Structure 1
Amino acid sequence: MERAILLAVDERPDADSAVAEQLRRLSAAMEEHDLRVRWTHRTADALAVIRSDATLTGLLAGWDAPGAEEIMAAVIKRFHRLPVFLLTAEQEPRDVPLWVYEVIQGYVFPLEDTPDFIAGRIAHAAEEYTEQTLPPFFEALRHLEDHHRYSWHTPAHAGGVAFLKSPVGRAFFDYYGERLLRTDLSISVPELGSPLEHTGPIGDAERNAARIFGAERTYFVMNGNSTANRIVGHHAVARGELALIDRNCHKSIQHALAINGARPVYLVPERNGLGLAGPIPVGALAGAAVRDRLGGHPFTAGAAAPEPTYAVVTNSTYDGLCYDAVRVAELLGASVPRVHFDEAWFAYARFNPLYARRYGMAVDERSLPGADRPTVFATQSTHKLLAALSQSSMLHVRPSPRAPVDHDRFNETYLMHASTSPLYPMIASLDVAAAMMDGPSGPFLTGEAIIEAIRFRQAMVRLAARIREDGARPDWFFGVWQPPRVTDPRTGEAVAFEDADLDLLSTEPGCWTLSPGAAWHGFDGLDDGHCMLDPIKVTITCPGADAAGGTTEWGIPAKIVSAYLERRGIVVEKTGDHTLLVLFSLGITKGKWGTLIDALIDFKNAYDGDLPLAEVLPGFGPSGVTLRALCAQVHGKLRDSKLDVLLDEVFTDLPAPVLTPADCYQALIRSRTERVPLSELAGRVSATTVVVTPPGIPMLMPGESTGPDDGPVMSYLRALEDFDRAFPYIDTDIHGAHRDDTGRYWIECVAEDD
């Protein structure tokens, strides 16, 4: 593990003073202890090293150097218990604030002790710091790997040795390296504990993660947040019971319904003219509204209990809308004893004050006292926006006396979904991901991502303004879905978003709250403070749609822009009709988002120049047309077919439920279903989920009727099929609809005689 020491002094490395000479000797001595010395004599350089170098294991700060206090403060903000030594040539440094004494580990007098002694002292402190930074499981795994023991257990590659016996195996071994393969171990290794019984270092790692994420209990889950969702759904609601389900849910929630046999009653989120899913309105979450919805629902008759026992809400949404989770739990607590926040895209929320109250584990006895507080589950795809390996996820639990969670019983459900052969590097990555968020590191890392996202947002708005003011080219450019103006709560002054202070935008939640009736977001039915836009999830808007008004006369389809970006090596997270979603994760850099802006400018130039499609996107789309002509054709089809209006009707007027998802699953596995063409689909009951991405919300759940031939579902599917057959190279990402060679849709339905 590389270790670096920052030497922040007012002496240049090549100075001819006695102190500089001694510091050069000290640097050489530290290098012999395998410590890389970063010598800085300017405050800006020292601060840059502190912000960017995660290998720092110590700081020697000259108190008389310019910016010494600023450097100390930056260390506190960035690192937890980094060894700091105050370097001085005086007998006693003067004017040292009392808080500095709480930071430093001691003094270094370079002209008194020998360089070797000082270097040894610093090396010892750096070694102790390195050991203290390692979380429980990762530390145990490192120590075990250092033992160099033979493996007599699974996996059969035995630390990678088996791969060395084959040319292709050798290529695999060389590509990934021996260390990864040596740490791919069997569950039978006792020193690491049991991931199934949550004992030993693995249990310690889960308990450490629970402390860091604010949970009473945390479970490490392999195979992604989908499995975590299925575990919670399998445990929290029983067969025949009623469950309140956010219609904007991941397909794994539907999988859980197929397993647990619950009867779903869906909560309907808002939608806007850009096709983005909004929040479930406050009014729909209140106890009276839930009772009204249950009162006329077909599934309430014959339910195992008169009241729902479980509710699940997606937080944040794919597009970055996050709730006041405490308020949501309070509202739903009037109807259900258990609330599940699917936070697949929101694992970082606890670690920045911008998101206060907006994550599941914020719901505790302090934020929501009283007997009505529900038990809260939060499931997180740790790998999505924190630093963990793919499929590595966490499940957090905060029980309430109203609905206690017995660990042994819950673990029985966990065991049904857990593997007895987990990949230990994945577990280590979860352990490390939690440790990275511990102490000051969490706010620092999340704050950095937030600031870079805001810089990108402001740069896009400023660039659009420059294009308009220049007048030398068509004045259109890509936009960003965000408030055009924000208010500084300290002064009450409203300023343009692009002119707002970076500190204000990165720390004040009010800048991102969806105010009721604001045109920029386009959602109805909002209460003040109910919902906030997460700044790190950036929706780029293409000309052609408006959040309040829907599709406009002229536009540029996002799928064509996305195809162009992909040719430039830029893959966006999600593509809508006129929107592109990009994520500013912990791995963001200025170079990364600057490259995206450059590509968007190049697309505009190609469009404005009416360049041939074959030149801009070789091999894409029809031949003999220009980029501008293709955009006009595709946008015209989107506009004239009114796909946005039809889709809004599908998600506003939900299909009628006929069977439960569990009933449909039983029919599916016993071949009591049949694939039906769209021409014969009216009035049939879907056997599987039909999801159109975007928006990624199920338009048909298993057991729901497609409705009449002129109803919302059938009208939308016909329009979508027609669009896909016209433009097969940008066809819709639709799950549950199977296409034949002619492009016709076929849907799996429950057999009519079933």
Structure 2
Amino acid sequence: MRSIGAALNDLGLEMCWTHRTTDALAVIVSDASLAALLVAWETPGTENLLTAVRSRFHRLPVFLMPSDGQDLPLWVYEVIHGYVFPMEDTPTFIAGRIAHAAEEYADRLLPPFFGALYRLEDKHRYSWHTPAHAGGVAFLKSPVGRVFFDFYGERLLRTDLSISVPELGSPLDHTGPIGEAERNAARVFGADRTFFVLNGSSTANRIAGHHAIARGDAVVVDRNCHKSVQHALTITGACPVYLVPERNGLGLAGPIRPSALDAATLSQRIESHPLATGDPTYGVITNSTYDGLCYDAVRVGELLGPVVPRLHFDEAWFAYARFNPLYARRYGMAIDERTMPGGDRPTVFATQSTHKLLAALSQASMLHVRSAERAPVDYSRLNETYNMHASTSPLYPMMASLDVAAAMMDGPSGAFLTGEAIAEAIRFRQAMTRLASRIREDGRRPEWFFEVWQPPSVLDPSTGQTVAFADADPALLATEPRCWALEPEASWHGFGGLAEGYCLLDPIKVTIVCPGADAVDGTTEWGIPARIVAAYLTRRGIVVEKTGDHTLLVLFSMGITKGKWGTLIDALTDFKQAFDADLPLQEVLPGFGPPATTLRRFCEQVHTVIRDSGAATLLDEVFTNLPEPVVAPSECHQALIRSGTERVPLSDLPDRIIATSIAVTPPGIPMLMPGEDTGPGDGPIMTYLRTLEAFDLAFPDLATEIHGAHRDAQGRYQIEVMTR
């Protein structure tokens, strides 16, 4: 065996020796650079090793050294690549067999487009085409360019190529390796066709809408939509009819009630709409929501299908759903001939920001399509729309990252990688819950701590017993969807009107709840504003995804480790200690907030303003009781570009027609859409905007980021409205 190892070293392969099963399992789970495995069958734990390989790798060559005359289980033959009998061949020959298999495995690893780009880079050809930096050479002619070159490295710049390179195919015609990569991604993600989209799912949303919506069409739209959906409505001249999601006391947007999606309710809503006419041609649902609520997509298709022939799921944050059984039926491409047979099945579009929670470069996204007979997709015509939004100078490393992201999800690795992320999120959730319990039981510290928004207990179907979430078997939580279902009228989630199994909380999207708010009752008497906690975490090098009044959202992507979430728990614990000790604010957050106060007093001051303003109630009213639509979004945009709008302060805003969307970001969900009336000065919209403005003026370090609200020199809001 030592001779085989030496021969492999001569061939450029490093032998990693392990002498214990636990060590071997650790290597298999953690080391993605493995190229082959050589194992003796009689070694204790070999079956566990082979099982781990099968669940982690796709076609990793495994060579087995069997005992003479021993029958192997049938499943082992499906895992192994071949046998090695060390005493029957020379070490050099055996090493050569292993190296050849490892080389073939490495070649098969590369998906179509990345493989072509990888091989092309090795040809060292002169470039006579764009981009002008010519593989990075131009950067070397300037001092600052040299810094840029050294920072990113030559290989990235050498693979930044022109669309005119024939070996790579065309991203506009979907030919060559690029076309192969898109077809491979369609297979992996379960679509009929997949389009690689740069500039994020914002562009993918605009492509889907621009293709499927004609001018004047009535479109059923989730009000909890990204602003890019509204852009598609503006481009097409559609008339949106909004579906209103639930809201809870924490300010989180919930699902749309199933009763709001049935045919009779939708027909009534369209008939009573002041602008919409005719049957809707398109529907848009956000899935999962920014806060991690995902629908039974098949059920949504069954409800909307009889009315809406084309259904678009904005799955910007949900690209991984197909690859773990926990999310069965909960993604757009799950709607197919098998799950929804019959003539009511709609054509389905799914737009995914691949870069958000899979491994891809920023802006790398995909548009998946599954056509149905009711509204068949002509892909050549769809491609005409695609080309209207696609660049003729794409960044090929970004496209390669899409190809690699699909390959990473292919085969057993998809379930393995998503399972790892789910497992880490569950460990964090349980650790937070246990720590909160220990603090309450200790008696020597103030009892408060940060909570996690999740079911307080779960049902174990194998025993029929209900157990506390912190005590539940992590394997149960990682595999049983019912543990995460929003049961109808359950108080922990605070949403009403749900049906059994209709909506699920995604475990990898973790909402941390600061003291001061409750899912049912809203803002409580005392509390700690989340924006102050977020500012503290930022000083500690921890950046959360989204901050509400009393909630923090953290995402457990495939890149999250125990070290990362352990550091987050430590930082939250340190914040508690600083708060309980009433340390000076400038000691905890130097340069932040008023100079002569303490952390506790500052938190109390900010929370009192939030509580007394009734912000939680106003937020619910603004997003539940929608403003009256007066003109279509496209008319507002025409007025905007032809000087038919003006910018006014809040004092002049009542009873005006909004010209651009007003969206609190993150997550960028509009509270006012173009063409809607702001309502009276004492209405919920105006009251809420004045509340936000007053808060920003009082606490500029905690100011809200609002797209569409421009600030003047004094920090007061200026809003674009239609000219009277």
TM-score of the aligned structures, taking structure 1 as reference length: 0.95
Task: Determine if contact 1:449/1:588 at 8 Å carries over to the other structure.
Answer: yes
Q: 2:196 maps to which residue?
A: 220
Q: CA RMSD in A?
A: 0.9
Distance 2:525 2:714 in 1: 30
Letter in 1 for 2:223: R
What is aligned with 2:221?
245
Whether 2:274 is the aligned partner of 1:298: answer yes
Q: Tell me, in whole angstroms, the C-alpha distance in 2 between the residues paired with 1:581 and 1:100.
A: 43
CA deviation profile, 1:617-659 (whole Å, cap 9, x unmatched): 0000001100000000000000000011011111111010011
Opposite residue 556 of structure 1, the aligned amino acid is I
Partner of 2:573: 601
- Pairwise mapping of residues 623-638 of structure 1 onto structure 2 (< 5 A)? 623-638=595-610
Q: Deviations over 1:401-451 (max 9, x none)?
A: 000000110000000000000011111100000000000000000000000
Q: Which residue identity is paired with 2:47?
A: E
The correspondence for 2:289, drawn from 299, 303, 317, is 317
The separation in 2 between residues aligned to 1:647 and 1:184, in whole angstroms, is 46
Conserved 8 A contact 1:576-1:694: no
Contact 2:227 2:668 in 1 (8 A): no
- Render the CA deviation track for 1:520-554: whole Å, top value 9, x for unaligned: 00001111111000000000000000001100001
Q: Which residue of 2 aligns with 1:335?
A: 307
The one of 249, 260, 282 equivalent to 1:273 is: 249
Task: Name 1:375's counterpart in structure 2.
Answer: 347
Superposition deviation, residue 294 in structure 1: 0.7
1:63–1:93: 8 Å Cα contact kept in structure 2?
no
Cα deviation for residue 93 of structure 1 reads 5.0
Q: How far apart are the structure 2 equivalents of 1:717 and 1:71?
A: 59
The equivalent of 2:106 in structure 1 is 130
Report the Cα distance in structure 1 between the residues aligned to 2:111 and 2:312, rounded to whole angstroms: 28
CA distance in 2, matches of 1:103, 1:601: 46
CA distance in 2, matches of 1:741, 1:730: 18
AA aligned to 1:285 is L
Q: Equivalences for 1:340-351 in 2 at 5 Å?
A: 340-351=312-323
Q: Please state how far the C-alpha of 1:694 moved relative to its aligned partner.
A: 5.5
Equivalent of 1:478 in 443, 446, 450: 450
Match of 2:12 among 25, 34, 57: 34
1:51 corresponds, among 13, 16, 29, to 29
**How big is the shift at 1:99?**
1.4
Deviation by residue 1:298-347 (Cα, 9 ceiling, x = unmatched): 112xx4xx101000000000000000000101111121100000000000
Q: Give CA deviations for 1:683-723 in whole Å, capped at 9, x if unaligned.
A: 00010001123664211100000001111111111122111
Are 1:62 and 2:40 matched, yes or no? Answer: yes
Residues paired across the two proteins, number? 724
**Pair 1:502 & 2:474 matched:** yes
Deviation at 1:111, TM superposition (A): 2.6
Residue matched to 2:554: 582
What is the aligned partner in structure 1 of residue 236 from structure 2? 260
Give the Å deviation of 1:95: 3.7
In structure 1, distance between residues paired with 2:668 and 2:175: 38
Q: Which residue identity lines up with residue 272 of structure 1 in the other structure?
A: N
More off after superposition, 686-695 vs 442-451: 686-695
- Report the Cα distance in structure 1 between the residues aligned to 2:92 and 2:69, rounded to whole angstroms: 23
Deviation sequence 1:56-80 (CA, Å, 0-9, x none): 1100011111101110111001011
Alignment of 1:126-525 (within 5 A): 126-300=102-276, 303=277, 306-525=278-497
Counterpart of 2:394, as a letter, is P
Paired residue secondary structure (2:247): coil
Deviation at 1:247, TM superposition (A): 0.3
Q: Distance between the aligned counterparts of 2:370 and 2:78, measured in 1? A: 34
2:77 to 101, 126, 136: 101
Q: Are the counterparts in 2 of residues 684 and 706 from structure 1 also a CA contact under 8 Å?
A: yes
> What's 2:65 paired with?
87
| Residue in structure 2 matched with residue 563 of structure 1 by the alignment | 535
Q: Provide the secondary structure at the position in 2 that maps to 1:291.
A: helix
Shift of 1:112: 2.9
2:720 aligned counterpart, secondary structure: strand
Question: In structure 2, what is the Cα distance between the partners aligned to 1:715 and 1:613?
Answer: 31
- Cα distance in 2 for partners of 1:233, 1:65 equals 58
Deviation for aligned residue 1:179: 1.0
Tell me the CA shift for residue 499 of structure 1: 0.4
Q: 2: distance between equivalents of 1:697 and 1:390?
A: 20
Using the alignment, how far apart are the partners of 2:107 and 2:665 within structure 1? 46
Of 138-147 and 261-270, deviating more is 138-147
Q: Is the 8 A contact 1:276 1:695 kept in 2?
A: no
- In the aligned structure 2, how far is the partner of 1:649 from the partner of 1:695? 18
Instruction: Give the aligned partner of residue 110 of structure 1.
Output: 86
Residue 341 of structure 2 aligns to which amino acid in structure 1? P
| Percent of aligned pairs with the same amino acid | 74
Using the TM superposition, give the Cα deviation of residue 102 of structure 1 relative to its aligned residue in structure 2, in angstroms.
Answer: 2.2
Q: Which runs of 5+ in 2 are unaligned?
A: none
Using the TM superposition, give the Cα deviation of residue 741 of structure 1 relative to its aligned residue in structure 2, in angstroms: 2.2
Q: Which runs of 4+ in 1 moved over 6 A?
A: none
Partner of 2:522: 550
Residues 110-143 of structure 1 deviation map (CA, whole Å, 9 limit, x = unaligned): 2332211111110000000111111111111111
For 1:616, the equivalent position in structure 2 comes to: 588
Name the stretch that deviates more: 547-556 or 163-172: 163-172
Structure 2: distance between partners of 1:734 and 1:101 = 59
Q: Are 1:705 and 2:683 counterparts?
A: no
Q: 1-side partners of 2:14 and 2:248: how far apart?
A: 54
8 A Cα contact 1:277 1:695, kept in partner:
no
Measure, in 2, the Cα distance between the counterparts of 1:723 and 1:132: 57
Residues 586-635 of structure 1 deviation map (CA, whole Å, 9 limit, x = unaligned): 11100000000000000000000000001000000001100000000000
Distance 2:203 2:189 in 1: 19
* 3-state SS, counterpart of residue 312 of structure 1: strand
Which amino acid letter does the alignment assign opposite residue 36 of structure 2? G
Counterpart Cα distance in 2 of 1:130 and 1:93: 33
Distance of aligned partners of 1:397 and 1:629 in 2 relative to their CA distance in 1, 3 Å threshold? same
Deviation, 1:743, is 2.3
Question: Quick one: distance in 2 between partners of 1:146 and 1:507?
Answer: 44
Alpha-carbon deviations, 1:554-605, whole Å to 9, x = none? 1000000000000000000000000000000011100000000000000000
**Aligned counterpart, 1:4:** none
2-side partners of 1:51 and 1:93: how far apart? Answer: 31
Task: Tell me if 1:74 matches 2:52.
Answer: yes
Distance across 2 between alignment mates of 1:171 and 1:637:
48
1:7 corresponding residue in structure 2: none
Name the amino acid aligned to 2:61. Answer: P
3-state SS in 1 of match to 2:35: strand
**Aligned-residue offset at 1:742:** 2.0
Judge which range, 594-603 or 712-721, deviates more.
712-721
